[in-house]
Structure 1
Amino acid sequence: MLKDNRFKGLTANDIKQDVIAGITVGIVAIPLGMAFAIASGVKPEYGLYTTVIAGILVALFGGSRYQIAGPTGAFIPILLAIVLEFGYEDLLIAGFMAGIILLIMGFFKLGNLIKFIPRSVTIGFTAGIAVIIFSGQIENFLGLAGMEKKEYFHETMLQIFDKLPTMNWYSILIAVLGVVILVFVPRIFPRVPVLLVALIIPALVAYIFFPGKVDTIGTAFGGISQSLPSLHIPEITWNKIINLLQPAFVIAMLGGIESLLSAVVADGMTGKRHNSNRELVGQGLANVITPLFGGIPATGAIARTATNINSGAVSPLSGVFQGVFVLATILAFAPFASHIPLASMAPILMRVALNMSEYKSFAHIIRLRSSDSLVLAVTFLLTVFVNLTVAVQFGLLLAMVSFVKRMSEVLGVEKVIPSHLKDEQALKDEKLTAKCPQLAFFTIEGPLFFGAADKFESTITRSINQKPEVLILKMKHVSYIDATGGNNFTSLIRDFRKTGGTTLLAEVNPDVLEAMKISGLYEEIGSDHIFNDASKAVDYALHIINVPKCSRCGKKGATACQVFQESQKLQSS
């Protein structure tokens, strides 16, 4: 692990600033922690436990000065799906496994690999998650009775339409009041913690004016425990590990992406630099320990991290103070939380969904009508109508296929006439490429990998149907060659050799040359047929070609062959 300098040089005033920032973020984190837990199908206190434990651990062991970790909206669909299929106990195991995966990624310095996940994939599943979160809160907004948690979007929507006659107008009134608070309070009182206000005022209105008319945390979950979370080690079996490996991997990837994205946002706001691998270790450690105390998976939260910075945070201690504040609030005020209406949480989660949807970026990529548009659309639709696990897998697979296709199109195979064989008259000749039928010269540009190997071989094979005696390949701009490219290259050389031809290579990239030596392609070509300079390869070719057998110059004699003449000039100079 790299040396941690995030706590160095702190003054008393810095610590004071961190305390203020921690309390501010804690006020924001409390309603979100409960709301995200409820939306994930678990008790609200589990979200608060996650806020406390993960928030402190990521602050102490993560790679960013300002990262605030906890439950986030991005996890809701995958966590709810796990709870519905496997149960809460197995959700803890999946979170524990995700933590181990993140630890492994951090220790093996794989933090930078997450940056290579295409934006079309991330926006696709993020927008899909936003749709699921928003639609999942319609029942609480309308106060529908008899609703059951469903795994699939279409099942939820069909159930909502079926239960519309059970609408509770008191719930709608509370939800509308929450919307009004969320919209207008920030404009009138910008420094007021609007999320907390959006919970407290509707709760007071419901409790005073129409008690017992709307569903609350107390009626749905029996209230929040006013005690510290206890250590509980879930029963882990091999079958559970196999069944939960796929969702655990998605949790780890999603958590890694969101935490590093949050750290990048913090870097942009402060001018500091985070350590991506240390951040993964911190996130992994948090997700290993948090489930042991009943907490759900956690990651870096962009909005809370930004709030932390805007509140004057100086060091990771602000994250620690945030966790301590939330814990103190649980111990002191947990019984009062039972009176919070579920309808007042619906607008908060709906706003979270709108904020995370990135609808402008979504519309922009769709309008491109490119392969990115297809990747985005497929990832989005699979997230909404199937599940996040399948969506991420297919999105990445489709993005990879699209990338391979684009890279294969980058490979260029161009037939040219070497400078030794050009003169002013020849440059005007429309049949320039036929000037010397015994010599074929090609410039290859781009990576020679499995997606482009067939194009490389077929293009050259079609171009040498006249069966020249010498084939020169200039490979200065071939940056990479893989096993498939090497195999097709070998087939081309062998087939050309069977016709009596000789292949020469010129200006080969050192890395590509080393790969050829390892694969045996270097010996197949022969070291005497590989040149550092293309002109030297042409010089060598001029000594190989058979002038009397040339279809153009053989009948006129050797002195009529411009290649032969050039050769004689070179030998006499």
Structure 2
Amino acid sequence: MNSTSLSRYRAEWFDGASNARRDILAGMVGTFALIPEVIAFSFVAGVDPEVGLFASFIIGIVIAFAGGRPAMISGAAGSVALVAAALVSAHGLQYLLAATLLAGLLQIAFGLMKLDILMRFVSRSVRTGFVNALAILIFSAQLPQMLHVSWHSYAMIAGGLAIIYLVPRITTAIPSPLICILVLTTISIAFPMPIHTVADLGRLPSSLPSLTWPGVPLDWETLVIVLPYAIAMAAVGLLESLMTASVVDDLTETTSSKARECTGLGLANVAAGLFGGIAGCGMIGQTVGNIRYGGRGRLSTLVAGVFLLLVMVPLRPWIAQVPVAALVAIMIMVSISTFSWASIRDLARHPKVSGIVMMATVIVTVATHDLSAGVAVGVLLSGVFFAFKVTRMMDVASHYDEATDTRTYIVSGQIFFASADIFADRFDLRDTASMVRIDLSASHLWDITAVGALEEIVMKMRRHGIGVEVIGLNRASAILVDRLAPAVSTGPS
């Protein structure tokens, strides 16, 4: 690390006493916003709350030092929990820990190979579809807790939603989800009723996490089981983290290292797996809250992680009495706020292909419960539609000069694998002119398919006794033609 990088890194930690104080306070407030969502997502993943809380504690510490985006809150929540749920249900917690380790290693590899640049291929329509599908899956994961329950549970959920949405109109000093938990827990203790509590979901942490190794056989069969989930967890976690980092970049008008964020998240997830925690990723809601509370540096991220465990261990008996209805209300709020409602209106305003890409991403994700599959389909469709649009912009015009018995074809647009056949079909290979000039001044040859189409046109015309001259090739196209089709004679450019 050079002196410039070291100075920047130091500034990301301690950029003045006032900034440090602001980061500490923002991190502490962020912790309270973190607790209910981590517990709720642990419930979604089908693991004990301590698994998610341990992971968030470890991830918060590691990512504060190794991450590429200061002030970003990461934890065991979000879309990764949705991917993990199927693995836990089928094979149990130990296989989830193994998948977490493998996902972390994959993320480290992605970061070292600079694969964060692949985010450039994720269009806005795909990102919107990803967010909307995530919101739908979060809501659907709450349905089991809203079916076959007493009316008390419905009343508590309704009351929780009222608190979450009405309290911010009065004060924003304390996050309304935290007030929701306080009020509903107080009511359930004061007036016992037949409802589920956090204690019914599993164990809460009573001590510091300890280093452990997943209790799974180290063989091929285990790898076959965990690899698909590890790939999905790694891809989905990185996608959500990099999207969150981009949001922070916009809010703070600063830049961040996305490759370092990939590597840092991988290290954090490896550590989480070794300490008995589930994989995590960037948390959009908590990160935006941290920024709004004044957090700007790495210290706020570290405080959010450390303070989480400091709060959870002494408050364990109280946390155990939190009604599940409060968590359901919070998750409904999260799903509602996550969904891009403007995207529904934009379906009528934006190009139809954008709407198709967004809807396809949502449908595939919800149908498969695999966020990475939905994104893959969305990216594929975006590429196909883009290629189709560029293909339609390619044109070939021609004019004949009787004085010289020469026909000139003027080509405009991009020639590549998708437009090469259309390009070739525009030429009359049995032209009666003695000379044909192909003017490529307003076009570009992109690949071997384009060069092959040009070579085939030239060779066929020459076999019919027509002289052919290719002119106007730009430098890049000329280099490609010289390397792949040296038989094509080029005239002056």
TM-score of the pair, normalised by structure 1 = 0.80
Does 1:219 pair with 2:206?
Answer: no
Q: Which amino acid aligns with 1:7?
A: R
Does 1:322 pair with 2:300?
Answer: no
- 1:474 maps to which residue? 439
- 1:6 maps to which residue? 9
- 2:466 maps to which residue? 501
Alpha-carbon offset, residue 435 of structure 1: 4.3
Does 1:124 pair with 2:129?
Answer: yes
Identify the structure with bigger relative contact order (alpha carbons < 8 Å, sequence gap 6+): 2
Q: Name the CA shift for 1:487/1:24 in 2 (closer, same or farther; >3 Å).
A: same
- Contact 2:60 2:306 survives alignment (8 Å): no
Alpha-carbon offset, residue 358 of structure 1: 0.7
Q: Which amino acid aligns with 1:195?
A: P
Tell me the secondary structure at the aligned position of residue 312 of structure 1: coil
- 1:407 maps to which residue? 390
Work out which of the residue numbers 51, 60, 71 in structure 2 matches 1:55.
60
**Which shifted more, 95-104 or 451-460?**
95-104
- Contact 2:27 2:303 survives alignment (8 Å): yes
Q: Name the CA shift for 1:71/1:480 in 2 (closer, same or farther; >3 Å).
A: farther
**How far apart, in 2, do the equivalents of 1:366 and 1:52 lie?**
44
Does 1:298 pair with 2:280?
Answer: yes
Specify every segment of 5 or more residues in structure 2 that has no aligned partner in the other structure, as ranges. Answer: none
Q: Name the CA shift for 1:110/1:452 in 2 (closer, same or farther; >3 Å).
A: same
Tell me the secondary structure at the aligned position of residue 524 of structure 1: coil
Work out which of the residue numbers 205, 208, 229 in structure 1 matches 2:187.
205
Alignment of 1:451-466 (within 5 A): 451-461=418-428, 464-466=429-431
Alpha-carbon offset, residue 437 of structure 1: 8.6
- 2:379 maps to which residue? 396
Q: Which amino acid aligns with 2:80?
A: F
Q: Which amino acid aligns with 2:492?
A: F
- RMSD value, Cα: 2.2
- 2:87 maps to which residue? 82
Tell me the secondary structure at the aligned position of residue 196 of structure 1: helix
Alpha-carbon offset, residue 455 of structure 1: 0.8
Tell me the secondary structure at the aligned position of residue 525 of structure 1: coil
- Contact 2:49 2:201 survives alignment (8 Å): no
Alpha-carbon offset, residue 231 of structure 1: 1.7
Alpha-carbon offset, residue 289 of structure 1: 1.8
CA-to-aligned-CA distance 1:13-53 (integer Å, 9 cap, x gap): 33222211110111111111111111121111222122211
Alignment of 1:505-524 (within 5 A): 505-519=470-484, 521=485, 523-524=486-487
Alpha-carbon offset, residue 457 of structure 1: 0.8
Work out which of the residue numbers 362, 365, 368 in structure 2 matches 1:380.
362
Q: Name the CA shift for 1:314/1:370 in 2 (closer, same or farther; >3 Å).
A: closer
- Contact 2:42 2:77 survives alignment (8 Å): no
Alpha-carbon offset, residue 10 of structure 1: 2.9
Q: Which amino acid aligns with 1:226?
A: S
**How far apart, in 1, do the equivalents of 2:444 and 2:184 lie?**
63
Alpha-carbon offset, residue 366 of structure 1: 5.9
Alpha-carbon offset, residue 362 of structure 1: 4.0
Q: Which amino acid aligns with 1:298?
A: G
- Contact 1:367 1:373 survives alignment (8 Å): no
Work out which of the residue numbers 242, 260, 267 in structure 2 matches 1:278.
260
Q: Name the CA shift for 1:23/1:525 in 2 (closer, same or farther; >3 Å).
A: same
Q: Which amino acid aligns with 1:199?
A: I
Number of corresponding residues: 485
- Contact 2:212 2:274 survives alignment (8 Å): yes
Q: Which amino acid aligns with 1:524?
A: A
- Contact 2:43 2:201 survives alignment (8 Å): no
**How far apart, in 2, do the equivalents of 1:434 and 1:350 lie?**
72
**Which shifted more, 93-102 or 317-326?**
93-102
**Which shifted more, 448-457 or 123-132?**
123-132
**How far apart, in 1, do the equivalents of 2:475 and 2:57 lie?**
54
CA-to-aligned-CA distance 1:395-415 (integer Å, 9 cap, x gap): 332222222222222322222
Does 1:337 pair with 2:314?
Answer: no
- Contact 2:107 2:266 survives alignment (8 Å): yes
**How far apart, in 2, do the equivalents of 1:448 and 1:58 lie?**
45
- 1:525 maps to which residue? 488
**How far apart, in 1, do the equivalents of 2:342 and 2:404 lie?**
57
Q: Name the CA shift for 1:363/1:73 in 2 (closer, same or farther; >3 Å).
A: farther
CA-to-aligned-CA distance 1:155-194 (integer Å, 9 cap, x gap): xxxxxxxxxxx33011112112211110111111221221
CA-to-aligned-CA distance 1:102-150 (integer Å, 9 cap, x gap): 222221222222122122222223212211211221332x3x3xxxxxx
Q: Which amino acid aligns with 2:356?
A: L
Tell me the secondary structure at the aligned position of residue 332 of structure 1: coil
Q: Which amino acid aligns with 1:26?
A: T
Identity of aligned residues (%): 27
**How far apart, in 1, do the equivalents of 2:62 and 2:369 lie?**
30
Alpha-carbon offset, residue 354 of structure 1: 0.9
- 1:46 maps to which residue? 51
- Contact 1:7 1:316 survives alignment (8 Å): no
- Contact 2:78 2:281 survives alignment (8 Å): no
**How far apart, in 1, do the equivalents of 2:280 and 2:433 lie?**
65
- Contact 1:97 1:245 survives alignment (8 Å): yes
Work out which of the residue numbers 284, 291, 304 in structure 2 matches 1:309.
291
Tell me the secondary structure at the aligned position of residue 473 of structure 1: strand
- Contact 1:6 1:315 survives alignment (8 Å): no
Alpha-carbon offset, residue 346 of structure 1: 0.5
Q: Name the CA shift for 1:441/1:100 in 2 (closer, same or farther; >3 Å).
A: farther
Alpha-carbon offset, residue 436 of structure 1: 6.1
- Contact 1:437 1:468 survives alignment (8 Å): no
Q: Which amino acid aligns with 1:466?
A: D
- 2:346 maps to which residue? 364
Q: Which amino acid aligns with 1:525?
A: V
Alpha-carbon offset, residue 531 of structure 1: 1.3
Q: Name the CA shift for 1:90/1:516 in 2 (closer, same or farther; >3 Å).
A: farther
**How far apart, in 1, do the equivalents of 2:96 and 2:132 lie?**
24
Q: Which amino acid aligns with 1:325?
A: F
- 1:163 maps to which residue? none
Tell me the secondary structure at the aligned position of residue 394 of structure 1: helix
**How far apart, in 1, do the equivalents of 2:268 and 2:348 lie?**
37
- 1:137 maps to which residue? 142
Does 1:484 pair with 2:467?
Answer: no
Alignment of 1:90-109 (within 5 A): 90-109=95-114
Specify every segment of 5 or more residues in structure 1 that has no aligned partner in the other structure, as ranges. Answer: 145-165, 418-432, 533-573
**How far apart, in 1, do the equivalents of 2:412 and 2:363 lie?**
38
Tell me the secondary structure at the aligned position of residue 444 of structure 2: coil
Tell me the secondary structure at the aligned position of residue 530 of structure 1: coil
Q: Which amino acid aligns with 2:439?
A: K
Alpha-carbon offset, residue 369 of structure 1: 5.8
Tell me the secondary structure at the aligned position of residue 441 of structure 1: strand
